A and B are shown apart, each in its own frame.
Chain A
Amino acid sequence: MAKADEAAAIITVEGLQDLLQAIRAGGYRAIGPTMQNQAIVYDDIESVDDLPLGWTDEQDRGRYRLARRDDDALFGYSVGPQSWKKFLHAPKLRLWTAERDGENASVTPEPSPTDRLAFIGVRACEIRAIEIQDRVLVSDMYVDPHYQALRERALIVAVNCGQAGGTCFCVSMHTGPRVQQGFDIALTELLDGTEHSFLVETGSDEGRALLAQVPHRLASGREVEAGEAVIEGAASSMGREMRSDDLNELLMSNLEHPRWDEVATRCLSCTNCTLVCPTCFCTSVEDVSDLSGERAERWRRWDSCFTMDFSYIHGGSVRASAKSRYRQWMTHKLATWIDQFGSSGCVGCGRCITWCPVGIDITEEVRAIRGCDTSAGDWP
């Protein structure tokens, strides 16, 4: 998958349906936005009818509501509580099974998955989040074979955002809203009075082959400009902003800043921010055995640096206070991630702000620390 590399095309809503059909006929499990439990969540889709037609989301700190749009947009929302990591980096995964027969035990690793997943409606910040998880789980010293198997086969149909959510700050993190790379097909939804169509860019041979199966025509200059205007509209309406060029130095030179104590009085250590975060990759393992004691399994599950157990060693937890756990999460996300993996761990999707039950806003926390940088002598 590469950058967009040829003139854009136009497909209709029916064309999008044809595209979905072509993807599914190609052996992919299509996953896209659906309305469930008053939220837009990623799940299996069969047709365009499964998409949240005419719905949007209103987001603010600790607040998420669906609302009707006054048009028939299919991708007229920003991002919901879930990210694609739910599919690539499973919340729960059996790693192996062990059987004991008398004196001899044997361990059988879980086979790697063979599913071919097609992600429909991936936003620019989410592509960047997937690339960030690639760096951790595939491009480091060791490879996670489960993640790699799914990731290598995954098809990405991206969507350029037409509006920013109330907690979005991808512009600050330089991850969006324009989809730049890492897609097979990128769509921009064009809603012009009575006309409803999609500007299509292709980023891979597979994307081009899929487009070839769908009725399409070359986009006009006016339509390309309309697509640019859609993305520009999203870029200029970010709900949040955060200066991000100096966060490693700023945070690591303020590890004893009083703001950590202050945020700890609000933080519930509920782990929501880490679970909704599209890049948080931490896991724990659980060993289970049957009643005979002859069969055991190891399961991996998402974990969070906000739990006491996370840092437990003999004698107690290394991070016993909420202050230290919030500090670990935020400094890792925005600062030490850069040392470890060469980029920030934050893509500016805003999920941690929206889904924090007490409305802690990472951009506000950074501003508070920047406002009185203790290393610069600002704090008494």
Chain B
Amino acid sequence: MPPTLKACAPLPYPMAPSMTRVTRFIRESAEVFTFDLAPERVTPFTPGQFNMLYAFGVGEIPISISGAADAPDRLTHTIRAVGPVSAALGRLKAGDQVGLRGPFGVGWPVEEAKGFDVLLIGGGIGLAPLRPAIYWLLRHRAAYGRVGVLYGARTPDDLIFVSELEEWRKTPDFQLRVAVERAGPDWTGDVGYVTPLLSKLRYDPADAIAMICGPEVMIRATALALEDAGIADSRIFVSMERNMKCAIGHCGHCQFGPLFICKDGPVHRYDRVRDLLAYREL
């Protein structure tokens, strides 16, 4: 059983990071990198939860865990360098230190999904928070029905986890479709958004659970497409992003209507956020 939030007792002092070391650094694409951290003790987490990562003297940002939830000795994060902190984290190498606090938030419903067909749909860096769920499903494959992953990126050069995508493509009983928005002649896969690829997956809409992570516009479009395909809105789960300074519901930055993305999410049941998502700038 995956650990629940209750298993993650609050840190004695919830705002102070503990220093950990980078043990492995992988460049995924021009903007995206992955590193493993080796804290003294890995606090159990649920796929979809996040940590606050601190670059010394620069700042702290929320980053979803992108590694397996049952790895006892390391915490993996996949990060796109777009701001001062993520860029500073991207300049680190094995042996360098990173401040860590977490895990925080509510993750993917991997327990509730047992017995269901499971669809995972990621856009861009949004594949990273889904990867722990994919690992989980592969490890407990017999507990689930059909499994399908859709992954969309801007161009083939922006794809992350490329060698793993190849592995997953060859995995029996595991459906994977990858689409890019723009591609050259050497791209033989799908071109366009991920939503049209839903029809290429085999699943029973009456008996399926879907998990979506990506840009908000992609989340909206994909959730609508899933509803059109007959999946109940209460069986669609979306992971959302907002500005966060504390991750513990105190700083107020991540509010989304009545929700705090940090502690009520980042993974939300779609029927609880659908109406809110309809408003611009909420």
Q: Which of A95, A109, A318 has the most CB of B within 10 A?
A: A318
Q: How many A-B residue pairs have CB under 8 A?
A: 120
- Chain B residue nearest to A325 (CB atoms) is B281
Is A311 located at the chain interface by the 8 A CB criterion? yes
Given contacts A103-B97, A339-B258, contact A282 B282 (CB under 8 A): no
Bound CA span A332–B260, Å: 12
Question: Interface majority SS on B: helix, strand, loop or mixed?
Answer: loop
Bound CA span A332–B246, Å: 19
**A283 partner residues in chain B, CB cutoff 8 A:** 245-246, 250-252
A287 touches B58 (CB 8 A): yes
B15 touches A96 (CB 8 A): yes
Bound CA span A104–B19, Å: 8
Bound CA span A303–B253, Å: 9
**A109 partner residues in chain B, CB cutoff 8 A:** 13, 15-16
A324 touches B280 (CB 8 A): yes
B252 touches A281 (CB 8 A): yes
Bound CA span A95–B16, Å: 7
A324 touches B252 (CB 8 A): no
List residues 98-149 of chain B with CB under 8 A from any CB of chain A.
Answer: 99
B255 touches A328 (CB 8 A): yes
Bound CA span A35–B134, Å: 64
Is A320 located at the chain interface by the 8 A CB criterion? yes
Is B10 located at the chain interface by the 8 A CB criterion? yes
Stretch among A58-66, A135-143, A154-162, A195-203 lining the B interface: A135-143
Determine which of A144, A310, A336 lies in contact with B243 in the assembled complex, contact meaning CB atoms within 8 Å.
A310
B60 touches A105 (CB 8 A): no
List residues 78-105 of chain B with CB under 8 A from any CB of chain A.
Answer: 80, 82-83, 95, 97, 99
Q: Which of B16, B56, B80, B250 has the most CB of A within 10 A?
A: B250
CB proximity of B240 to chain A, nearest CB, Å:
10
Is A313 located at the chain interface by the 8 A CB criterion? yes
**B56 partner residues in chain A, CB cutoff 8 A:** 98, 100, 105, 289, 296
A336 touches B250 (CB 8 A): no
Bound CA span A96–B60, Å: 13
B10 touches A143 (CB 8 A): yes
CB proximity of A110 to chain B, nearest CB, Å:
9
A-B contact pairs, 17 of them (CB 8 A): A100-B56, A105-B97, A106-B19, A107-B16, A107-B17, A142-B10, A142-B249, A144-B250, A252-B257, A256-B279, A285-B59, A285-B251, A303-B251, A305-B255, A321-B281, A328-B255, A332-B255
Which residues of A line the B interface, CB within 8 A? Answer: 95-96, 98, 100, 103-109, 136-137, 140-145, 252, 255-256, 281-285, 287, 289, 293, 296, 298, 300, 303, 305, 310-314, 318-321, 323-324, 328, 331-332, 336, 339-340
